[in-house]
Amino acid sequence: ANGFVVVHPDGTRIRPRLPSGTWNGGYCCGPAATDRVDDVAFVAAVLDDVGQKVTIDPSRTYA
């Protein structure tokens, strides 16, 4: 109704029940980096999924 969509992924969880997650920052940032999680591919997949559910303008996507 206001012309925008907000998506807030949590990152890779350290433990399933903890509220915080980590992102693969290269040589830092805990399990996501250690496990070599591909956060770029994950965000691209999230954007594709959201784009199938609502209309989004790729030229106005900030990720």
- Euclidean distance between CA atoms 49 and 12, whole angstroms: 18
Average pLDDT per consecutive 10 residues, the chain (63 residues; last block may be shorter): 84 73 80 85 93 92 88
Give the residue extent of every domain in the chain: 21-56
pLDDT value, residue 59: 92
DSSP output for 43-56: HHHHHHHHHHHS--
Whole-model pTM? 0.75
- Per DSSP, the three-state class of 3 is coil
